[in-house]
Amino acid sequence: MEDTQIDRSDSEGRHDMQLDMTAPIGPQLHALLRERVVRNDLKPGARISEAEIAREYEISRQPVREAFIKLAEEGLIEIRPQRGTVVRKIDCDAVLDIRFVREAIEADIVRLLAETHDRELVLRLRHQIEEQKAIAANAPAEFIAADEIFHETLAAGAGKASIWKLVSGLKSQMDRVRYLSAEVFPLDRLIEQHETIVNAIEAGDVAAAEGAIRIHLRAVLSDLPDIIRAHPDAFRAPPPE
Residues 59-115 have pLDDT tens digits of 999 999 999 999 999 999 999 887 889 999 999 999 999 999 999 999 999 999 999
- The whole-angstrom separation of Cα 18 and Cα 145 is 18
CATH 1.20.120.530 fits 92-234, yes or no: yes
pTM, two decimal places: 0.83
- The whole-angstrom separation of Cα 60 and Cα 77 is 20
**How many CB atoms lie under 10 A from the CB of residue 34?**
20
Q: Are the beta carbons of 78 and 37 closer than 8 angstroms?
A: no
Burial letters 119-154, b for 16+ CB under 10 A, else e = eebbebbeebbeebbeebeeebbbbbebbeebbbbb
80 in the Ramachandran plot: left (φ > 0), alpha (ψ -120 to 50) or beta?
Answer: beta
Residue 44, classed as helix, strand or coil, is: coil
CATH 1.10.10.10 fits 5-87, yes or no: yes
The chain-wide mean pLDDT, for the chain, equals: 87
Tens of pLDDT, residue by residue, the chain (241 residues): 333 232 333 333 334 467 877 777 888 999 999 999 999 999 999 999 999 999 999 999 999 999 999 999 999 999 988 788 999 999 999 999 999 999 999 999 999 999 998 999 999 999 999 999 998 877 777 899 999 999 999 999 999 999 999 998 889 999 999 898 876 777 899 999 999 999 999 999 999 999 999 999 998 888 899 899 989 999 985 544 5
Q: Which long-range contacts (CB under 8 A, 24 or more apart) does 120-126 make?
A: 121/153, 121/157, 121/201, 122/198, 122/201, 122/202, 124/153, 125/150, 125/153, 125/154, 125/194, 125/198, 125/201, 126/198
Domain segments of the chain as ranges: 5-87, 92-234
DSSP state of 232: G
Task: Assess whether the region 5-87 and the region 92-234 belong to the same CATH fold.
Answer: no
Residue 122, classed as helix, strand or coil, is: helix
